[in-house]
Amino acid sequence: MKTESEYSNKKILVLGLAKSGFAVAKLLKKMNSDVTVVDSNPLEGNDEAQKLLDDGFKVITGSNDAKLVDDSFDYVVKNPGIPYSNELIKHAQEIGVPVITEPEIAYSYSDATMVAVTGTNGKTTVTTLIQLMLAHSPKFKKSYYAGNIGIPISDVIQKATSDDVVVTELSSFQLEGTIDLHPHVAVLNNIYSTHLDFHGNRENYIKAKMHITKNQTKDDYFIVNWNTEEWRNLAKQSSAVIKPFSDEQELTDGAYVKNDEIYFNKEFVMNTDSIQVPGEHNVQNALAAINVAKLFDVTNEDIIDVLASFKGVKHRIQYVDKFNGRKFYNDSKATNTEATIVALSAFKQPIVLIAGGLDRGNGFDELVPYLKGKVRNIVLYGQTADKMVDAAQKADISSITKVNNLKEAVPEAYRQSNEGEVILLSPAAASWDQFDTFEQRGDQYIDEVEALKGEN
pLDDT in tens, 392-430: 999 999 899 999 999 999 999 999 999 999 999 999 999
Lowest mean pLDDT among 335-349, 409-423, 433-447: 335-349
User: Does the structure show a pLDDT above 80 at 196?
Assistant: no
Lowest mean pLDDT among 111-125, 137-151, 194-208: 194-208
| Distance between CA atoms of residues 340 and 435, nearest Å | 19
3-state secondary structure labels for all residues of the chain: CCCCCCCCCCEEEEECCHHHHHHHHHHHHHCCCEEEEEECCCCCCCHHHHHHHHCCCEEEECCCCHHHCCCCCCEEEECCCCCCCCHHHHHHHHCCCCEECHHHHHHHCCCCEEEEEECCCCHHHHHHHHHHHHCCCCCCCCEEEEECCCECHHHHCCCCCCCCEEEEECCHHHHHCCCCCCCCEEEECCCCCCCHHHHCCHHHHHHHHHHHCCCCCCCCEEEEECCCHHHHHHHCCCCCEEEEEECCCCCCCCEEEECCEEEECCEEEEEHHHCCCCCHHHHHHHHHHHHHHHHCCCCHHHHHHHHHHCCCCCCCCEEEEEECCEEEEECCCCCCHHHHHHHHHCCCCCEEEEECCCCCCCCCHHHHHHHCCCEEEEEECCCCHHHHHHHHHHCCCCEEEECCCHHHHHHHHHHCCCCCCEEEECCCCCCCCCCCCHHHHHHHHHHHHHHHHHHC
pLDDT in tens, 230-255: 999 999 999 999 999 999 999 999 99
Which pLDDT band, with edges at 50, 70 and 90, does 18 fall under?
Answer: confident
Point out the annotated binding site. Answer: 119-125
User: Does the structure show a pLDDT above 90 at 1?
Assistant: no
Pick 318-455's CATH classification: 3.90.190.20, 3.50.50.60, 3.30.830.10, 3.40.50.720: 3.90.190.20
User: Does the structure show a pLDDT above 80 at 379?
Assistant: yes
Give the residue extent of every domain in the chain: 11-100, 103-309, 318-455
Q: What percent of the chain has pLDDT over 90?
A: 87
User: How many other CB atoms are there within 10 angstroms of residue 70's CB atom?
Assistant: 12
Rounded to two decimals, what is the model's pTM? 0.81
The mean pLDDT value for 273-291 works out to 92
The mean pLDDT value for 175-195 works out to 91
What strand order describes the sheet that includes 11-15?
Answer: 58-61, 34-39, 11-15, 75-78, 99-100
Look at residue 281 in the predicted model and tell me its pLDDT: 86
Look at residue 121 in the predicted model and tell me its pLDDT: 83
User: Does the structure show a pLDDT above 70 at 195?
Assistant: no
The mean pLDDT value for 371-387 works out to 96
Cβ-proximal residues to 339 (8 Å cutoff; 6+ apart), any chain = 120, 121, 331, 333, 426, 428
Point out the annotated binding site for ATP. Answer: 119-125
Look at residue 194 in the predicted model and tell me its pLDDT: 67
| Distance between CA atoms of residues 402 and 408, nearest Å | 10
Q: What is the CATH number assigned to the segment(s) 103-309? A: 3.40.1190.10
The mean pLDDT value for 70-97 works out to 96
Mark 403-438 as b/e (b = at least 16 C-beta within 10 Å).
Answer: beebbebbbbbbebbeeebbbbbbbbbbbbebbeeb
Closest listed residue to residue 336, CA positions, set 373, 361, 372, 318:
361
Look at residue 154 in the predicted model and tell me its pLDDT: 97
CB of 311 within 8 A of CB of 125?
Answer: no
The mean pLDDT value for 274-282 works out to 87
Architecture of domain 11-100: 3-Layer(aba) Sandwich (3.40)
Look at residue 382 in the predicted model and tell me its pLDDT: 97
Which pLDDT band, with edges at 50, 70 and 90, does 81 fall under?
Answer: confident
